[in-house]
């Protein structure tokens, strides 16, 4: 490893999945399982009071100790049950069960045991409900191996088992079967509904709840029906009645404390209150934002709480009035907008609720506000094609916000471009201009001309579309003094390039140049006259990302192709400066420095490369950043520059890199110093990087490294001595339409034949700075650039294989040089 | 928790004339009254005192009309030849007029015979007026001279022979009793001070001057001639402030409104244009049947009178505005309920309970809120919405389509309703803003009602009409495409020239043609 494992990937912000019902404590606190933690919220202030960590897996059950209301049981997939003093956040005891625990139930009637759902040993996908005897022995870590099976073949979901009145019976549902087991009689009754496959779905059981005072069981079904079962002591003469309002799966059911009413929720995101178990008396609390996953009641019946699919917690009064909502980073279906930083609040901006833009404060892990962009009623129904927010861009000072929303249609998409103006008085964005159908096809990119110094009226917005054009939008001042608003936006220029789809756009730092990528070609336009200045191309492969260098590197344009190349073009000489073979997914320039972060995806791991465009040798490489694909990344400026002593992490001094993975987890890179600031509990968050370093691994590593370098050397030799010389290769691989005239190509071709000699002389002069070749046509130099990068990466390209070739003199020389290189730093590991 | 969001109705910017405060104000006139005179009307002048009678000079007569009278109140017809420029004095008692034979006559408004006659001009006198001290008259004639006369003695005080062509217009300053201006066909406007022997200032208009005007403050001078109206700053020594070219024929008359905020100009091109005197932009314009020669606006902008070349006098009265206030009064709640509780001031320890604001939803929104698709569609197919605000109908259709219930909302309708729907679709489907939605609707209707085609003659006819409308639109679009193709060819030849110069500064040898077209 090139980098010492000082830089750690830290999960930050955004509460992970809730896997169990929340629990109200007796004194108005809310306890909730959230990922590997149990969180305690204050109901009055919505604040997180305690974060109880210690489980090594997803927390699957949270239950108050029925015998001591200040204690809490929690179970986790790591096979432990922990007993907490939640007021102080201290773990009292840990019981090791040894199986995956999928649900936890604690009832008052069972003295010293709790019930858990564990997978049946030896069988896949079958689960059983067992009671675990919790020993009262002294000591913190205890074994709890006394298991007795209560029910077989139960569902894994914690919603599918419910304990009846005073723990007399337990009801469990799975598919079309309902089992009721009476503890005293030791009698098991089974009931089943006839499986119906209707258009609206099947009638499988999805959840179960037991009446707290009477012998009544409520079950929810996948077709939206609720059945109330009575008389289930008899196997034959049982009765049930049906309540039906939901049009989709009933996700959760809960009885009120006295059992007079029943609460149900589902995908519709409507909380339904059924009075007296009758079909006609019901109340609704509609538009809760997203599908309700769990419902729970407080023991005094004053509150009820719903956990939603998008990680939100809603607290509702007993009279079905919305009271509060606790929300962090809202999980949306798909983050299409990318990670954008609001320059005003430094908040992270991305898709929130459907049709909303969430402003998420990274420091406080709180949602600052949610801006309704689409302004249409969202229908919570599967299979509907609804308007979604796809692109967002802020102007440099955050005064203007441009959003693009679209709705996929069979014929042509419904598109809207909206421009929002920040109103200082109301402290929020106000809609200024709405443009219907700005492009004829999907909009692929939006950017503002980001110039701080210039006046606001020089603001320019560029949109690129799949319809093959990019459009320039400018502000138009309304001269009529009686008009409602003084400015509006209108189209100023439409540019296209050979009817290719426009994919990306980017302004240079001073705003004088606009780069627009059209499939395989990058075009550079003058932003004053809108003349095409030059084009760049690195065939084959379409351009995936482009960005301009900043500050001292502003003469460079960086582009990544989906064929796995990262290229850097010099804008002054209009030539390729260097290129390297990397499958770049994300290319993110730091707004405060020259550094550019590139995240690649290779063989099931993401890697981070940080480089300056003027030197192709990366500043920093982190292999195996995480196992998931990284979708998006953003540099967030720090409030005050952090003191980082290590040269390697200098690029992290003024801004911090955040990235979002496929599974929508927000992560950041943290140096040690910030690590120390973390509280001990959350220290567990950090994913340990780096392997155990032993002398043997060091030795092995060194050996492997040398081997790999030799391989690379051979590779270079191979590519050089291959039948196709670079010039010929260029000739063959460049599309005909971008090829210059034959008279122009001829000298290059001839030069390329003479290259080895030239190279030799160049070699002797430049040994460190050999990368900075200015001549693009000289492809061999470029090849070496690739090779150098590969050495840094220490990852030999296996796919090219080991081809043994006779080495030329220059290559031998190069290899010797590599061997001479100082490897003493490895021992610093 | 979010509340129900009403359906967003797409507002389209209205093309054509924008409605401003000015349009509303100047539209507030009743339909005009037309009176036929004997000849071209060269001057209309309002009496400055109530009841604001106005003198109309046409041919050899001067008619005085009352405010609402269709017949002249009084007539002065003691002229052998044409009379010109009958003008009231500030107190509304005296009237002065020039004539073709060169004499100037002064009338008492209540009398019949002229009080005085001023002789001295050798040719026709086209402009006369009172100086603001009320005892002197200025005049300009076709003998190129401008003169000042003393009323009591009926003698000439001073004569200026500086113009080199006919003097056809003039105006006295309201601020200084000695200052007046005259405009002449020699393209100049001259400012005179009756105390000096020569003109004080000359401005060059550039065209024969047809009309001049001084602002009430006396600081600005407006001249009209040719197609131009020019505004000059007198205090800066006659500097041109702005030149307006909004008419396409000679501007013949100028007029200020009572507040001095708007300038009006009438022209032979049959238009009266109204300018704002702050921005000098046209804020409104009137059209008339024939060329306009004279124009006058009564105090308080009550009446607008325009005289034409064919002798028609066009009189517009302002509509009364009280009626609107009456209807508002009726709706107001009774005093007792209105004032109830309003006078109570909450004390510091009081706990204020604010009443939740009740949101009023439109009928279709209420129905959509409760997922009643068919009824919502019915609601927007009611005549007032369907006819006057088709965008609402289309927005609801789009919303239903978005919810996936449009098909069920369209289905199950009887002959009358299908007829209604198809009429709407056939009429609106060609409007570009509605096309995407209505094409979907038309598709669905044909899908749903395909089996019953042929059962009703009315529905069949509507289907045929729809087909015809779409066919016409397709032909039209094809034609447009052809035109676009032609224009592209023209643009291509235009960009080729630029292309060659671009090639020179291209360094990497990759030549490209640029396809650019300016979006207007």
Note every long-range contact of A384-388, with CB atoms under 8 Å and residues 24 or more positions apart, other chains counting. A384/B402, A384/B403, A384/B404, A385/A409, A385/B402, A385/B404, A386/A354, A386/A355, A386/B402, A387/A355, A387/A414, A387/A416, A387/B402, A388/A336, A388/A351, A388/A354, A388/A355
β A655-661/B41-46 pair status = unpaired
DSSP state, residue B420:
H
What digits encode the pLDDT tens for the residues A13-54?
Answer: 665 667 888 999 888 889 988 878 888 888 888 888 888 888
Instruction: Identify all chain B residues contacting A496, using CB atoms and an 8 Å cutoff.
Output: 515-516
Strand B41-46's sheet: what is its strand order? B41-46, B54-58, B61-65, B72-76
Q: pLDDT at position B113, please? A: 83
Q: pLDDT at position A769, please? A: 40
Question: How is B248-317 classified by DSSP, letter by letter?
Answer: SS-EEEEEE-TTSSEEEEEETTSEEEEEETTT--EEEEEE-SS-EEEEEE-GGG-EEEEEETTSEEEEEE
CA distance B409 to chain A (A): 16
What digits encode the pLDDT tens for the residues A704-741?
Answer: 666 655 555 454 444 444 445 666 666 666 666 667 77
β A37-42/B303-308 pair status = unpaired
- For the segment A241-256, the average pLDDT, to the nearest whole number, is 90
What digits encode the pLDDT tens for the residues A376-417?
Answer: 888 888 778 888 899 999 988 888 999 999 888 776 778 899
Among chain A residues, the shortest Cα distance to B281 is held by: A480
β B262-267/B251-256 pair status = antiparallel
Distance of alpha carbon A500 from the chain centroid = 31
- Topology of domain A340-581 in CATH is Methylamine Dehydrogenase; Chain H (2.130.10)
Q: pLDDT at position B210, please? A: 93
Nearest-CA neighbor of B25 among B457, B322, B318, B265?
Answer: B318
Cβ of B403 within 8 Å of Cβ of A384? The answer is: yes
Instruction: Identify all chain A residues contacting B3, using CB atoms and an 8 Å cutoff.
Output: 287
Question: In terms of pLDDT, which residue wins out, A589 or A716?
Answer: A589
Dist. CA A504–CA A514, nearest whole Å: 10
Share above pLDDT 70 across residues of chain A, in percent, rounded to a whole number: 79
> pLDDT by residue for chain B (520 residues), tens digit each?
578 888 888 877 666 666 778 888 888 888 899 999 888 999 999 998 888 899 999 888 899 999 888 888 899 988 888 999 999 998 889 999 999 988 999 999 888 888 889 998 999 999 999 999 889 999 999 999 999 999 998 899 999 999 999 999 999 998 888 999 999 999 999 999 999 989 999 999 999 999 999 998 888 999 999 999 999 999 988 899 999 999 999 999 999 988 888 999 999 999 999 999 888 889 899 999 999 999 999 988 889 999 999 999 999 998 887 655 555 555 666 666 666 667 778 888 888 887 778 888 899 999 998 899 999 999 999 988 888 889 999 999 999 998 889 999 999 888 899 999 999 999 999 888 888 889 999 999 999 998 888 888 989 999 999 999 999 999 999 999 999 999 988 888 876 555 444 444 333 333 333 333 333 3
- For the segment A71-77, the average pLDDT, to the nearest whole number, is 90
Query: Which superfamily does CATH assign the domain made up of A17-158 to?
Result: YVTN repeat-like/Quinoprotein amine dehydrogenase (2.130.10.10)
Cross-chain CB nearest to B507 (options A495, A496, A573): A573
Q: Where are the domains of chain A?
A: 17-158, 161-327, 340-581
Dist. CA A114–CA A81, nearest whole Å: 10
Q: How many Cα neighbours within 13 Å face the side chain of B291?
A: 13
Q: pLDDT at position B79, please? A: 87
Which of B2, B506, B513 is the best residue to mutate to test the A interface, defined by the most A CB atoms within 10 Å of its own CB?
A: B2
Tokens of B288: 């008339």
Cross-chain CB nearest to A740 (options B1, B510, B518): B510
Question: Hey, how many other C-beta atoms are within 10 angstroms of the C-beta on B398?
Answer: 23
Contacts of B63 (CB under 8 A, 6+ apart): B37, B55, B56, B72, B74, B75
Q: pLDDT at position A628, please? A: 80
Dist. CA B67–CA B51, nearest whole Å: 7
Q: How many Cα neighbours within 13 Å face the side chain of B378?
A: 13
Q: pLDDT at position B219, please? A: 87
Cross-chain CB nearest to B517 (options A494, A499, A573): A494
Dist. CA B225–CA B208, nearest whole Å: 5
CA distance A98 to chain B (A): 43
Question: How is B379-401 classified by DSSP, letter by letter?
Answer: HHTSHHHHHH-HHHHHHHHHHHH
Instruction: Identify all chain A residues contacting B404, using CB atoms and an 8 Å cutoff.
Output: 381, 383-385
Q: What is the dihedral of CA B467, B470, B475, B479, to 10 degrees?
A: 180
3-class state of residue A518 by DSSP:
strand
Residue A506, classified by CB atoms within 10 Å of its CB into exposed (0-12), middle (13-18) or buried (19+), is buried
Q: pLDDT at position B329, please? A: 57
Contacts of B498 (CB under 8 A, 6+ apart): A531, B514
Share above pLDDT 90 across residues of chain A, in percent, rounded to a whole number: 16
Cβ of A376 within 8 Å of Cβ of B7? The answer is: yes
Dist. CA B421–CA B459, nearest whole Å: 10
DSSP state, residue B426:
H
Dist. CA A705–CA A692, nearest whole Å: 18
Cross-chain CB nearest to B512 (options A372, A499, A535): A535
Domains A17-158 and A340-581 share a fold: yes
Nearest-CA neighbor of A185 among A230, A250, A129, A235?
Answer: A235
Query: Is the CB of residue A440 less than 8 Å from the CB of residue A467?
Result: yes
Dist. CA B249–CA A619, nearest whole Å: 75
pLDDT band at A485 (very low <50, low <70, confident <90, very high): low
Cβ of A491 within 8 Å of Cβ of B519? The answer is: yes
pLDDT band at A196 (very low <50, low <70, confident <90, very high): confident
pLDDT band at A672 (very low <50, low <70, confident <90, very high): low
Question: How is B341-377 classified by DSSP, letter by letter?
Answer: TTSPPPPTT----PPPPPPP--HHHHHHHTT-HHHHH
Query: Is the CB of residue A365 less than 8 Å from the CB of residue A328?
Result: yes
Q: pLDDT at position A402, please? A: 93
Place of tokens 């921005």: B279
Contacts of A721 (CB under 8 A, 6+ apart): A805, A806, A808
Q: Is the pLDDT of residue A828 over 70?
A: no
Among chain B residues, the shortest Cα distance to A483 is held by: B20
Dist. CA A64–CA A31, nearest whole Å: 9
Q: Which of A111-125, A315-329, A712-726, A762-776 has the lowest mean pLDDT?
A: A762-776
With residue B25 as reference, give the H or E element that holds it. Answer: helix B21-27
Nearest-CA neighbor of A337 among A354, A319, A317?
Answer: A354
Partner residues linked to B62 by β-bridges: B57, B76
Cross-chain CB nearest to A376 (options B5, B404, B515): B5
Instruction: Identify all chain B residues contacting A534, using CB atoms and an 8 Å cutoff.
Output: 506-508, 510
CATH class for the region spanning B23-317: mainly beta
Q: pLDDT at position B333, please? A: 62
CA distance B368 to chain A (A): 10
Cross-chain CB nearest to B502 (options A372, A498, A531): A531
Q: pLDDT at position A727, please? A: 62
Cβ of B518 within 8 Å of Cβ of A495? The answer is: no
Dist. CA A779–CA A745, nearest whole Å: 14
Place of tokens 């496929």: A662
Instruction: Identify all chain A residues contacting B499, using CB atoms and an 8 Å cutoff.
Output: none
Cβ of B517 within 8 Å of Cβ of A322? The answer is: no
- For the segment A259-279, the average pLDDT, to the nearest whole number, is 89
DSSP state, residue B134:
S
Dist. CA A388–CA A393, nearest whole Å: 15
Instruction: Identify all chain B residues contacting A386, using CB atoms and an 8 Å cutoff.
Output: 402
pLDDT band at A805 (very low <50, low <70, confident <90, very high): very low
Partner residues linked to A177 by β-bridges: A174, A192
Tokens of B72: 């002249």
Q: What ipTM was assigned to the predicted interfaces of this complex?
A: 0.73
Dist. CA A417–CA A432, nearest whole Å: 11
Question: How is A543-590 classified by DSSP, letter by letter?
Answer: EEEEEE--GGGTTEEEEEETTTEEEEEETTTTEEEEEEE--EEEEEE-
Question: How is A372-405 classified by DSSP, letter by letter?
Answer: ESS-SPPP--TT----EEEEEEE-TTSSEEEEEE
Among chain A residues, the shortest Cα distance to B8 is held by: A376
Q: pLDDT at position B309, please? A: 92
Q: Between A and B, how many residue pairs show a Cβ–Cβ distance under 8 A? A: 96
Cβ of A314 within 8 Å of Cβ of B1? The answer is: yes
CA distance B272 to chain A (A): 21
Q: Is A161-327 in CATH node 2.130.10.10?
A: yes
Contacts of B278 (CB under 8 A, 6+ apart): B261
Query: Is the CB of residue A279 less than 8 Å from the CB of residue A299?
Result: no
Dist. CA B306–CA B292, nearest whole Å: 7
Question: Hey, how many other C-beta atoms are within 10 angstroms of the C-beta on A519?
Answer: 16
- For the segment A586-611, the average pLDDT, to the nearest whole number, is 86
Tokens of A523: 């075009």
Q: pLDDT at position B349, please? A: 86
Mean pLDDT of all residues in chain A? 79
Cross-chain CB nearest to B507 (options A377, A574, A738): A574
Dist. CA A229–CA A221, nearest whole Å: 13
Q: Is the pLDDT of residue A632 over 90?
A: no
CA distance B369 to chain A (A): 9
Residue A368, classified by CB atoms within 10 Å of its CB into exposed (0-12), middle (13-18) or buried (19+), is middle
Instruction: Identify all chain B residues contacting A740, using CB atoms and an 8 Å cutoff.
Output: 508-511
Dist. CA A599–CA A583, nearest whole Å: 8
CA distance A404 to chain B (A): 16
CA distance B510 to chain A (A): 5
Tokens of A636: 């967030």
Cβ of A287 within 8 Å of Cβ of B4? The answer is: yes
CA distance A534 to chain B (A): 7
């Amino acid at each position: 490893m090139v980098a010492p494992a000082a830089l750690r990937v830290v999960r930050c912000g955004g509460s992970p999945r809730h896997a169990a019902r929340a629990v109200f404590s007796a004194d108005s606190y809310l306890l909730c399982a959230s990922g590997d933690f149990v969180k305690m919220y204050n109901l009055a202030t919505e604040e997180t009071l305690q974060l109880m960590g210690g489980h090594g897996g997803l927390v699957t059950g949270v239950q108050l100790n029925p015998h001591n209301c200040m204690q809490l049981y929690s179970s986790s997939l790591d096979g432990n049950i922990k007993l907490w003093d939640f007021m102080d956040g201290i773990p009292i005891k840990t019981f090791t069960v040894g199986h995956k625990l999928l649900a936890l139930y604690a009832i008052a009637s069972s003295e010293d045991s709790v019930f858990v759902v564990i997978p049946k040993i030896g069988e896949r996908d079958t689960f059983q409900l067992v009671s675990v005897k919790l020993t009262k022995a002294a000591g913190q870590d205890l074994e709890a191996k006394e298991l007795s099976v209560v029910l077989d073949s139960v569902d894994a979901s914690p919603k599918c088992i419910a304990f009846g009145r005073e723990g007399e019976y337990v009801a469990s549902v799975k598919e079309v079967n309902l089992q009721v087991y009476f503890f005293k009689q030791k009698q098991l009754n089974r009931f089943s509904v006839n499986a119906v496959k209707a258009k609206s779905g099947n009638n499988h059981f999805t959840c179960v709840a037991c009446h707290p005072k009477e012998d009544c069981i409520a079950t929810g079904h996948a077709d939206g029906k609720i059945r109330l079962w009575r008389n289930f002591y008899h196997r034959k003469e049982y009765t049930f009645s049906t309540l039906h309002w939901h049009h989709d799966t009933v996700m959760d059911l809960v009885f009120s404390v006295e059992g007079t009413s029943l609460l149900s929720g589902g995908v519709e995101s409507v909380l339904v209150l059924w009075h007296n178990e009758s079909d006609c008396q019901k109340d609704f609390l509609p538009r809760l934002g997203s599908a309700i996953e769990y419902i729970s009641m407080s023991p005094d019946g004053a509150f009820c709480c719903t956990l939603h699919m998008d990680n939100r917690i809603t607290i509702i009064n007993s009279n079905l009035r919305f009271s509060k909502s606790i929300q962090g980073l809202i999980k949306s279906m798909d983050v299409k907008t990318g990670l954008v930083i609001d320059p005003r609040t430094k908040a992270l901006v991305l898709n929130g609720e459907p049709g909303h833009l969430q402003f998420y404060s990274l420091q406080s892990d709180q949602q600052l506000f949610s801006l309704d962009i689409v302004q249409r009623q969202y229908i919570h129904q599967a299979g509907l094609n609804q308007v979604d927010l796809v692109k967002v861009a802020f102007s440099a000072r955050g005064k203007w916000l441009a959003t693009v929303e679209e709705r996929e249609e069979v014929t042509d998409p419904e598109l809207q471009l909206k421009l929002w103006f920040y109103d200082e008085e109301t402290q929020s964005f106000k809609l200024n201009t709405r443009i219907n159908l700005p492009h004829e096809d999907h909009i692929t990119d939006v950017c503002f001309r980001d110039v701080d110094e210039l006046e606001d009226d020089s603001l320019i917005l560029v949109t690129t579309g799949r319809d093959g054009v990019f459009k320039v939008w400018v502000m138009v001042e309304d001269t009529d003094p009686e008009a409602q608003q003084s400015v509006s936006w209108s189209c100023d220029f439409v540019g296209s390039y050979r009817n290719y789809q426009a994919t990306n756009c980017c302004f240079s730092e001073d705003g004088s140049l606009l780069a627009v990528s059209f499939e395989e070609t990058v075009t550079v336009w003058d932003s004053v006259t809108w003349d095409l200045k030059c084009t760049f191309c690195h065939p084959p492969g379409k351009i995936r990302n482009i960005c301009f260098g900043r500050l001292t590197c502003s003469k460079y344009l960086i582009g990544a192709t989906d064929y796995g190349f990262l290229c850097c073009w010099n804008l002054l000489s209009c030539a390729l400066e260097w290129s390297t073979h990397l499958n770049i997914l994300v290319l993110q320039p730091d707004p405060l420095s020259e550094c550019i972060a590139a995240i690649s995806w290779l063989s099931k791991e993401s890697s981070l490369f940080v480089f300056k465009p003027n030197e192709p040798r990366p500043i920093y490489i982190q292999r195996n950043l995480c196992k998931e694909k990284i979708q998006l990344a953003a540099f967030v400026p720090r409030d005050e520059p952090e003191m980082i002593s290590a040269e390697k992490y200098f690029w992290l001094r003024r801004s911090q890199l955040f990235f979002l993975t496929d599974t929508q987890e927000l992560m950041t890179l943290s140096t040690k110093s910030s690590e120390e600031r973390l509280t001990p509990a959350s220290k567990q968050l950090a994913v340990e990087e780096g392997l155990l370093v032993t002398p043997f691994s060091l030795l092995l590593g060194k050996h492997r490294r040398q081997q790999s370098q030799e391989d690379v050397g051979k590779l270079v030799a191979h590519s050089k001595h291959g039948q196709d010389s670079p010039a010929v290769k260029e000739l063959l691989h460049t599309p005909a339409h971008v090829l210059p005239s034959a008279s122009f190509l001829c000298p290059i071709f001839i030069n390329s034949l003479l290259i080895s000699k030239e190279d030799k002389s160049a070699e002797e002069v430049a040994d460190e700075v050999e990368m900075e070749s200015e001549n693009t046509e000289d492809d061999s130099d470029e090849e070496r650039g690739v090779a150098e990068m590969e050495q840094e990466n220490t990852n030999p390209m296996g796919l090219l294989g080991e081809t043994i070739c006779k080495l030329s003199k220059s290559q031998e020389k190069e290899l010797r040089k590599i061997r001479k290189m100082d490897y003493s730093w490895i021992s610093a590991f | 928790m979010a509340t129900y969001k009403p359906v967003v109705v797409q507002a389209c910017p209205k093309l054509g004339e924008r409605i401003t405060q000015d349009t509303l104000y100047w539209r507030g006139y009743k339909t005009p009254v037309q009176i036929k005179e004997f000849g071209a009307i060269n001057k209309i002048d309002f009496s400055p005192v109530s009841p604001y009678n106005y003198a109309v000079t046409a041919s050899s007569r001067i008619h005085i009309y009352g405010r609402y009278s269709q017949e002249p109140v009084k007539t002065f017809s003691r002229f052998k030849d044409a009379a010109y420029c009958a003008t009231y004095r500030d107190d509304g008692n005296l009237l002065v007029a020039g004539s073709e034979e060169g004499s100037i006559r002064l009338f008492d408004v209540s009398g019949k015979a002229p009080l005085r006659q001023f002789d001295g001009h050798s040719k026709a006198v086209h402009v006369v007026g009172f100086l603001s001290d009320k005892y002197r008259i200025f005049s300009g004639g076709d003998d190129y001279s401008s003169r000042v006369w003393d009323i009591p003695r009926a003698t000439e005080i001073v004569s200026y022979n500086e113009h080199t062509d006919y003097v056809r217009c003039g105006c006295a300053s309201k601020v200084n009793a000695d200052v007046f201006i005259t405009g002449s066909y020699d393209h100049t406007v001259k400012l005179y001070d009756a105390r000096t022997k020569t003109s004080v200032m000359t401005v060059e208009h550039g065209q024969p001057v047809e009309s001049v005007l001084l602002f009430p403050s006396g600081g600005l001078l407006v001249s009209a001639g040719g197609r131009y109206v020019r505004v000059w700053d007198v205090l800066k020594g006659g500097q041109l402030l702005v030149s307006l070219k909004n008419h396409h024929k000679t501007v013949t008359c100028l007029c200020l409104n009572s507040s001095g905020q708007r300038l009006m100009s009438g022209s032979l091109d049959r238009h009266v244009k109204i300018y704002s005197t702050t921005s000098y932009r046209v804020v409104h314009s009137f059209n008339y049947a024939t060329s306009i020669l004279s124009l006058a606006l009564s105090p308080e902008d009550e009446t607008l009178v325009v005289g034409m070349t064919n002798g028609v006098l066009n009189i517009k009265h302002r509509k009364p505005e009280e009626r609107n206030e009456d209807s508002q009064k009726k709706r107001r709640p009774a005093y007792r309920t209105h004032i109830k509780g309003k006078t109570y001031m909450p004390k510091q320890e009081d706990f204020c309970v604010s009443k939740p604001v009740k949101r009023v939803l439109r009928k279709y929104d209420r129905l959509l809120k409760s997922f009643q698709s068919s009824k919502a569609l019915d609601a927007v197919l009611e005549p007032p919405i369907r006819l006057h605000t088709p965008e609402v109908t289309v927005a609801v259709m789009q919303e239903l389509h978005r919810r996936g219930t449009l098909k069920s909302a369209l289905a199950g309708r009887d002959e009358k309703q299908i007829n209604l729907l198809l009429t709407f679709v056939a009429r609106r489907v060609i409007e570009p803003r509605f096309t995407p939605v209505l094409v979907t609707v038309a598709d669905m209707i044909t899908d749903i009602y395909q089996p019953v085609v042929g059962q009703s003659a009315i529905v069949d006819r509507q289907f045929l009409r729809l087909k015809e409308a779409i066919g016409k639109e397709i032909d039209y679009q094809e034609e447009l495409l052809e035109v676009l193709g032609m224009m592209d060819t023209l643009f291509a030849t235009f960009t080729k020239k630029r292309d060659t110069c671009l090639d020179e500064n291209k360094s990497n040898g990759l030549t490209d043609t640029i396809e650019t077209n300016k979006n207007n």
